[in-house]
Chains A and B, each alone.
Chain A
Amino acid sequence: MATLAPIATAPLERLHDTWEARPGLYGILATVDHKTIGKRYLVTSLIFLVLGGIEALIMRAQLTHANAHLLSPGAYDQLFTMHGITMIFWYASPVLSGFSNYIWPLMLGSRDMAYPRVNALSYWTFLASGIFIYTALCIGQAPNAGWFAYAPMTLRPFDPGLNMDFYALGLIFLTVSTTIGAINFIGTVMKMRAPGMSLNRLPIFVYGTMTASFAAVFSLPALTVATTYLYFERHFHMHFFDAAQGGSPLLWQHLFWMFGHPWVYIIVLPAMGMVSEMVPTFCRRPLVAYPYVAMSTIATGIIGFGVWVHHMFATGLPGVSMSFFSGASIIIAIPSAIAVFAWIATMWLGTPVWKTPMMFVAGFVVRFVIGGVSGVVTAAVPFDWQVTDTYFVVAHIHYVLIGINVFPVVAAFYYWMPKMTGRMMSETLGKWNFWTMFIGFNLGFFPMHISGLLGMPRRVYTYPASAGWGSVNLITTIGSAVFAVGVLLFVINIFVSLRRGAFAGSNPWHAGTLEWAMESPPPPYNFAVIPIIRSRLPLWEDQLGDETPGMIPGEGHSHVSEGVVLAEGRETFGTSPLEAHPLHVLHMPEDSMFPFLLAVAMLGTAYGLVFSLWWLAILGGIGMLACLIGWLWPRHLVTGERA
């Protein structure tokens, strides 16, 4: 047992020097600051969003009318596959990691994530894997079998180029990034909270990312196994998916969807969590049914592991098995509905303030209901048989992913950008941004339900005029162009705000959570003193008093500006997983080049494996080993001092 006395004034200069990255190239490559890493994640994933969007627009141009020949069938295959994997893997999850990375320590009252160097590695591998997969597009051999890449058409006899090798290795590479990122989030939520921030005081956003991280830890290995089999089958003449040799194409489908369905929740639960932060702020009251929303988040994550077969209803599985998965897929709507009702009740009982983030949030709720309903109906086997592999499913996935991911993400940019840059985004441009995106989205994607019901299959590069799908496709293309203008307005608004935005101050939205306690942008050390938390909304305690949710009578109020300093090096508290009792003072690692170098070595190995340059693969492997040894080497053996 040790005790630490509080200090009245924090030595801010010393804290600043301790936590700031060094200037110059070394600082850029070696920094482990979660705020820098978070911003890099956000910018990089927005670039992927734009790339994936351009690919979609080219496809829409091709589909505008019947018998168009803008693209060859082969080019179209590459475009829809790249569009799918870019959006699903290199945009939707990393953008949420970006917000979590930036916001979590601020929200949790910590000075960093649990594993800062792992955090840096997670970003560098994300970037390197993105460069790797886009190399394929640059040399004209991009993945071309759809984002879920069903065997046997992905096998070498049917797809002889490097296309699917890039797919397999690129996804394994990205999996490394996502897995270590998830472990970092779990470690952070278990150890890095401000004293007193017990589980019942955690923001829902933290619950969202935490659940997504647990799901990632247990589901991503299925993708790794499947893509490893694919690479082995294509390169070393092994047999996993080839029915003639005792394999089974359905093995791919099982493994892919055992990963794939939890992945859906990985890319929506943190976004729903962000919504649960914004709704109370803009409705001026605490979230209704907080415990139920927290529990339904976790329940969704768990049930998400038991629904994968609903992607495989058309493969001839036994009826009993389909009934079970159909039932589970209908049940999973219940926890999502709990969250929706909680948001609506919060708006109903509160006083909504219609700032841009709130408009995007409300638009999201509408979309979530439509996407949810089209999901529940396809959970019914007979209906699924009717619409499987048609544009109805394409409409569903876009309502879900744009509705539940893109809209909350744009809302979150409007909401948290002022914290990151210190400047507000334009409200006027924001309203234009919202209405163009909202109208464009519905105009573009709602007709896809109809083209699907009319029988238009997905992934066809063109269609005959006699099919009668011309007008719905024309409307879809116009809608997607309007939507793209909306995204453009959003990007313009970011740049305008960086140059000319009004100064934000520490808490422009008068929000109640901890990330609004410090100045904007936050100093390198986040908190001058480590706060002590006594409620769920520490910054609303003045207004709500003893009614603040999560407050225990007699325990007193939160302390945000007075507390323990911890300034002997990079220090913060390590706390207990449930109650967040302070257990020890953690000495956080210094900046390091090893994460960057390790990612470069991995990129070398990936290129070596895809081009069958074995010397390069082995060289990369040796480089990885060397980086890991250097990374793990105890500091005192180098410096001669004992920690």
Chain B
Amino acid sequence: MTSVAYDRTIQLGGEGRAPGWWAMVWTIATEAALFGFLLFSFFYLGSQSRSAWPPDGPLKLTLSLPNTILLILSSIAYMWGERGIRAGNQERLRLGLFIAFILGLAFIIIQGIEWSKQPFGAGDGAFGSLFYTITGFHGAHVIIGLCMNVLVQIWAARGTFTRESHLALTNAGMYWHFVDIVWLFVFSSLYISPRLG
């Protein structure tokens, strides 16, 4: 349309996030909303309940509290490994990812034991249904996070990641930290909040 010749060069900024990073951010946003609605259901039915909530008194912290700490440590290990690759340290990356994986795996195994020890089943009233659904949703997210971790470990072993280029690592890490942080909300709601009432 315009006849003026374009006579300047384009300056590239180079800063700023890749599209893939934003994709993970908005995936996490929608997942966070999902947990928000799950916890809304928990508090809504709790507030409407005419019997004890939970029915057998507050849930035990014997396993769940140490398990929570395991998951936080797993996030820290991942972060430590990721800091390693930012300094170009491949060994530290692999070690950090491996520790994060083992701690995450331990969390899911202990979560299985926690399920088997509950005095109620998923069909025993609204509290049971919500407990297994919410922790089940979270457990599924942990398993997806662990699958991502395995993939990232394979790629790390093959030397895919460099100091400058490691978006897959950052994204899997963001997801893993999200799974960790959302557990703190789930744990506070299901285990702690009934003790405050």
Query: Do A and B share a complex?
Result: yes
- Give the chain A neighbours of B26 by CB distance below 8 A: 182-183, 186-187, 217
Closest to A2 in B: B12
- Give the chain A neighbours of B132 by CB distance below 8 A: 238
Determine if A236 and B13 form an interchain contact, defined as CB atoms under 8 angstroms apart.
no
Determine if B160 and A240 form an interchain contact, defined as CB atoms under 8 angstroms apart.
no
Determine whether B16 belongs to the interface, using a CB cutoff of 8 Å to chain A.
Answer: yes
Interface residues of B in 145-165 (CB under 8 A from A): 147, 151, 155, 158, 160
Give bound CA distance, A220 to B137, whole Å. Answer: 16
Determine if B9 and A4 form an interchain contact, defined as CB atoms under 8 angstroms apart.
yes
1/0 per position for A16-52, CB-CB distance to B under 8 A? 0000000000000000000000000000000000000
Closest to A530 in B: B10
Give bound CA distance, A517 to B123, whole Å. Answer: 61
Q: A114-B23, A562-B5, A583-B12 are in contact. Are A238 and B34 (CB under 8 A)?
A: no
Q: A255-B41, A557-B2, A582-B10 are in contact. Are A576 and B22 (CB under 8 A)?
A: no
Determine whether A568 belongs to the interface, using a CB cutoff of 8 Å to chain B.
Answer: no
Q: A539-B1, A560-B1, A562-B6 are in contact. Are A251 and B16 (CB under 8 A)?
A: no
1/0 per position for B1-41, CB-CB distance to A under 8 A? 11011111111111110111011001101110110111011
- Give the chain B neighbours of A2 by CB distance below 8 A: 12, 14
Q: How far is the CB of A208 from chain B (nearest CB, A)?
A: 18
Give bound CA distance, A557 to B122, whole Å. Answer: 65
Which segment, of B45-53, B83-91, B98-106, B180-188, faces chain A? B45-53
Determine if B45 and A247 form an interchain contact, defined as CB atoms under 8 angstroms apart.
yes
- Among B19, B130, B160, the most chain A Cβ lie within 10 Å of the Cβ of B19
Q: How far is the CB of A551 from chain B (nearest CB, A)?
A: 12
- Give the chain B neighbours of A564 by CB distance below 8 A: 10
Q: A232-B129, A637-B155 are in contact. Are A581 and B30 (CB under 8 A)?
A: no
Determine whether B125 belongs to the interface, using a CB cutoff of 8 Å to chain A.
Answer: yes
Q: How far is the CB of B49 from chain A (nearest CB, A)?
A: 6
Determine if B12 and A246 form an interchain contact, defined as CB atoms under 8 angstroms apart.
no
Describe B's contact surface by its main secondary structure.
helix
Determine whether A541 belongs to the interface, using a CB cutoff of 8 Å to chain B.
Answer: yes
Determine if B45 and A251 form an interchain contact, defined as CB atoms under 8 angstroms apart.
yes
- Give the chain B neighbours of A182 by CB distance below 8 A: 26
Q: How far is the CB of B150 from chain A (nearest CB, A)?
A: 10
Determine whether B59 belongs to the interface, using a CB cutoff of 8 Å to chain A.
Answer: no
Determine if A1 and B13 form an interchain contact, defined as CB atoms under 8 angstroms apart.
yes
Partner of A220, one of B6, B22, B30, B122: B30
Determine if A582 and B1 form an interchain contact, defined as CB atoms under 8 angstroms apart.
no
Partner of B160, one of A251, A517, A574, A634: A634
Determine whether A344 belongs to the interface, using a CB cutoff of 8 Å to chain B.
Answer: no
Determine if A225 and B37 form an interchain contact, defined as CB atoms under 8 angstroms apart.
yes
Determine whether B133 belongs to the interface, using a CB cutoff of 8 Å to chain A.
Answer: yes
Closest to B7 in A: A6
Determine whether B127 belongs to the interface, using a CB cutoff of 8 Å to chain A.
Answer: yes
Give bound CA distance, A532 to B11, whole Å. Answer: 12
Determine if B6 and A224 form an interchain contact, defined as CB atoms under 8 angstroms apart.
no
Closest to A236 in B: B122
Interface residues of B in 112-126 (CB under 8 A from A): 122-123, 125-126
Determine if A238 and B2 form an interchain contact, defined as CB atoms under 8 angstroms apart.
no
Determine whether A559 belongs to the interface, using a CB cutoff of 8 Å to chain B.
Answer: yes
- Give the chain A neighbours of B6 by CB distance below 8 A: 6, 532, 559, 562-563
Q: A183-B23, A625-B147 are in contact. Are A557 and B4 (CB under 8 A)?
A: yes
Determine whether A295 belongs to the interface, using a CB cutoff of 8 Å to chain B.
Answer: no
1/0 per position for A202-239, CB-CB distance to B under 8 A? 00000000000000011111101100110011001111
- Give the chain A neighbours of B133 by CB distance below 8 A: 228-229, 232, 238
Determine if B2 and A576 form an interchain contact, defined as CB atoms under 8 angstroms apart.
no
Determine if B23 and A118 form an interchain contact, defined as CB atoms under 8 angstroms apart.
yes
Determine if A221 and B37 form an interchain contact, defined as CB atoms under 8 angstroms apart.
yes
Q: How far is the CB of B134 from chain A (nearest CB, A)?
A: 10
- Give the chain B neighbours of A574 by CB distance below 8 A: 16, 18-19
Q: How far is the CB of B48 from chain A (nearest CB, A)?
A: 5
Determine if A229 and B41 form an interchain contact, defined as CB atoms under 8 angstroms apart.
yes
Closest to B49 in A: A246
- Give the chain A neighbours of B15 by CB distance below 8 A: 583
Give bound CA distance, A217 to B34, whole Å. Answer: 10
Determine whether B168 belongs to the interface, using a CB cutoff of 8 Å to chain A.
Answer: yes
Q: A1-B11, A225-B41, A561-B1 are in contact. Are A186 and B22 (CB under 8 A)?
A: yes
Give bound CA distance, A560 to B7, whole Å. Answer: 13
- Give the chain A neighbours of B38 by CB distance below 8 A: 225
- Give the chain B neighbours of A561 by CB distance below 8 A: 1-2
Give bound CA distance, A251 to B130, whole Å. Answer: 12
Determine if B19 and A240 form an interchain contact, defined as CB atoms under 8 angstroms apart.
no
Determine if A582 and B11 form an interchain contact, defined as CB atoms under 8 angstroms apart.
yes
Give bound CA distance, A179 to B44, whole Å. Answer: 25
Q: How far is the CB of A355 from chain B (nearest CB, A)?
A: 22
Determine if B122 and A238 form an interchain contact, defined as CB atoms under 8 angstroms apart.
yes
Q: A114-B23, A557-B4, A562-B6 are in contact. Are A246 and B127 (CB under 8 A)?
A: yes
Determine if B30 and A218 form an interchain contact, defined as CB atoms under 8 angstroms apart.
yes
- Give the chain B neighbours of A222 by CB distance below 8 A: 33, 37
Q: How far is the CB of B135 from chain A (nearest CB, A)?
A: 13
Q: A3-B9, A191-B22, A217-B33 are in contact. Are A238 and B129 (CB under 8 A)?
A: yes
1/0 per position for A176-191, CB-CB distance to B under 8 A? 0001001100110011
Give bound CA distance, A560 to B2, whole Å. Answer: 7
Give bound CA distance, A632 to B48, whole Å. Answer: 45
Q: How far is the CB of B114 from chain A (nearest CB, A)?
A: 18
What are some 26 contacts across the A-B interface (CB < 8 A)? A3-B10, A3-B11, A4-B12, A5-B9, A191-B19, A192-B19, A195-B10, A217-B30, A224-B37, A225-B34, A225-B41, A232-B129, A237-B123, A239-B125, A258-B37, A539-B1, A541-B1, A542-B1, A560-B2, A581-B11, A581-B13, A582-B11, A584-B12, A629-B151, A632-B168, A637-B160
Please report B residues at the A interface, Cβ cutoff 8 Å.
Answer: 1-2, 4-16, 18-20, 22-23, 26-27, 29-31, 33-34, 36-38, 40-41, 44-45, 48-49, 51, 122-123, 125-130, 132-133, 147, 151, 155, 158, 160, 168
> Apart from A236-B123, A240-B129, A637-B160, what are 4 other A-B pairs with CB-CB below 8 Å?
A224-B34, A240-B45, A254-B44, A584-B14
Closest 4 CB pairs of A and B: A246-B126, A221-B34, A238-B129, A562-B6
